[in-house]
Amino acid sequence: MFDFLSNYNDPTFLGAFWMTVKLTVFSAIGSLIWGTLLAAMRVSPVPLMRGFGAVYVNIVRNIPLTVIIVFSSLGLADIFRVTMGAGGDVKLQAFRLAILGFVAYTAAFVCEALRSGINTVPVGQAEAARAIGLSFSQVLGLIVLPQAFRAVIGPLANVLIALTKNTTVAAAIGVAEAAYLMKGMIEKDAQTLLIGAIFAFGFVVLTLPTGLILGWLSKRLAVKR
Amino acid sequence: MKLRKVSAAAATALVLALTATACGGDDSSNESGSGSGSGGGDKIKVGIKYDQPGLGLKNPDGSFSGFDVDVATYVAKELGYEPKQIEFVETKSADRENALARGDVKFIAATYSINDERAKLVDFAGPYLLAHQDLLVKADSDIAEGTDLNGKILCSVTGSTSAENVKKDIAPKAQLKEYGGYSECIAGLQSGAVDAVTTDDSILAGFAAQENYKGQFKLAGLKLSNENYGIGVKKGDTATVDKINAALEKMVSDGAWETAVKENFGPAEYKNEPAPKIGDIK
């Protein structure tokens, strides 16, 4: 029943899911960094930065992800010739462009999750920190963000799970991940239900543990107030 | 009525999901039966592509155009249906076999290449067009042979076999760039980000014949493979196959076939093959 899975060599079944994992991990790291910076901008005392953060988040999170990913390839790569340091390697370039798109998009959601976490930190904490002479970046980095992160592990887990599933959009620009392989398989084997079920199961295997572990962590690490 | 249709569809989906077999056939035929009954007058559902200019395209105003559409309209007329009785349904490549098995459409005219694997699942009438895998390049490009592609960037659609054929047999050092649709490839070709686009020459000609690309591209004329387009019919429905074959023969003999080819591919200076011998499936 499953012997057709071994008919595929480029990518193989496991290779395709490995690509999904790589896309997810790199994009998650990137969007955590960029999202944190955006959140810092949104709560900063500088109006220009607050404005930039708000405009960025509200625009980017309202653009369909497919549009962002296809634009990163058609617009950035094909028209503006951004090569992402991949030399002439088209596949590597598509992979990096996809990550760039995922980071740009997911960071908006990370930023908003984090901002809600910052709101859970009592104002007195920041006031006390300022009173002992800490600068804005010290207040944020030492006092507010550590507490905020512990409050939003649950919401960030949701963003991570959404990101894992969103990586399937990369198939639109030819990144050989799970959805890419699935498309080829359905076209060649015409076993839509079986193949669909296998790939759905693959994603459950990826995301269920993520949800369980981070859910457990969020309970353990939450700041009890 | 709408609610009933939705719940019937949901029930069908549930049955299919639970049994994961083809047992849902009865349900879906009932459903489509009641659907066409409420429409008033007989309708025929025909599967086409919506996104291939020159072959099967849904225009912004909701009308349909292309060679496949012309053939389907002619065949439907011979089967006793006026153009306004035809309901065109989008059948994507991956869903064609299922759409026929479920009875969603009476027949499919959608760049459906006849091959052995597919012939096991559906019956084919035709062939009605012989296409060849080819390359579309810029009008001033120096790519003349398949081997010229080595070191160049070749664009095709995710999951299509044509690009794999080129990489495996003709130009192993060509780089493959893949998009969700051919339109993106054509845009890349226009901007110079890709050097060539590959698929059937009829599809490429359809794109090149579009108003905004006229004169910019040319076909390399490589004839890398033979693709015989057939009209897909539900497995075992030989009566319909015979009727469609008779219609296609009439279309070729009365000149409507030639006219349709010239109209749809003409602007791309596509040198079409003569009409294939109808009924010669192998």
pLDDT (tens digit per residue) in A72-90? 998 888 888 887 877 778 8
Residue B11: band (very low, low, confident or very high) from pLDDT cuts 50, 70, 90: low
pLDDT tens track for B146-164: 888 888 999 988 877 787 7
pTM of the prediction?
0.78
pLDDT of residue B22: 42
pLDDT of residue B71: 95
Residue of chain A nearest B180, judged by CA positions = A172
Query: Left (φ > 0), alpha (ψ -120 to 50) or beta: where does B18 sit?
Result: alpha
| A74: nearest Cα among A101, A102, A106 | A101
Q: Tell me: pLDDT of B143 over 80.
A: yes
Q: Tell me: pLDDT of B93 over 70.
A: yes
Q: What angle do CA B18, B20, B25 make, to 5 degrees?
A: 100
Cβ-defined contact of B187 to A78 (cutoff 8 Å): yes
Label residues B146-161 b or e (16+ Cβ within 10 Å = b). bebbeebbbbbbbbbb
Optimal mutation site among A78, A91, A169, A201, interface B, most CBs of chain B within 10 A:
A78
Determine phi and psi for B267, rounding to 5 degrees.
-60, -20
More confident position, B267 or B120: B120
Q: Tell me: pLDDT of B20 over 50.
A: no
pLDDT of residue B12: 56
- Whether B174 contacts B154, CB under 8 Å: yes
DSSP-assigned letter for residue A141: I
Question: Please, which residues have CB within 8 angstroms of residue B190's CB and are 6 or more apart in sequence?
Answer: B213, B216
3-state DSSP call for residue B178?
strand
Q: Minimum mean pLDDT among A217-221, B212-216, B253-257: which range?
A: B212-216
Q: Minimum mean pLDDT among A102-106, A160-164, B73-77, B202-206: which range?
A: B202-206
Residue of chain A nearest B193, judged by CA positions = A78
Share of chain B above pLDDT 70, in %: 84
pLDDT of residue B5: 61
Q: Does ipTM come in above 0.85? A: no
pLDDT tens track for B160-182: 778 778 888 888 888 889 888 88
Token pair of A34 as six digits? 């960029």
Q: Tell me: pLDDT of B183 over 80.
A: yes
| B127: nearest Cα among B113, B116, B110, B108 | B113
DSSP-based helix, strand, coil % in chain A, nearest 5 = 80, 0, 20
- The distance of B261 to chain A (nearest Cα, Å) reads 28
Q: Tell me: pLDDT of A157 over 70.
A: yes
- Mark which residues 129-158 of B lie under 8 Å from A by CB: 153, 158
Q: Which residues of B touch A173 (CB under 8 A)?
A: 178-180
pLDDT of residue B145: 83
- The distance of A76 to chain B (nearest Cα, Å) reads 11
Residue B21: band (very low, low, confident or very high) from pLDDT cuts 50, 70, 90: very low
pLDDT of residue B31: 40
- The distance of A4 to chain B (nearest Cα, Å) reads 14
More confident position, B92 or B71: B71
Residue B213: band (very low, low, confident or very high) from pLDDT cuts 50, 70, 90: confident
A77, A171, A188 ranked by CB distance to B158: nearest: A171
pLDDT tens track for B268-280: 777 778 888 887 7
pLDDT tens track for B191-202: 888 999 999 999
Cβ-defined contact of B184 to A174 (cutoff 8 Å): no
**Stretch (H or E) spanning A27:** helix A13-42
3-state DSSP call for residue A205?
helix
pLDDT of residue A49: 96
Distance CA B127, CA B114 (A): 8
Q: Which residues of B touch A78 (CB under 8 A)?
A: 187-188, 191, 193-194
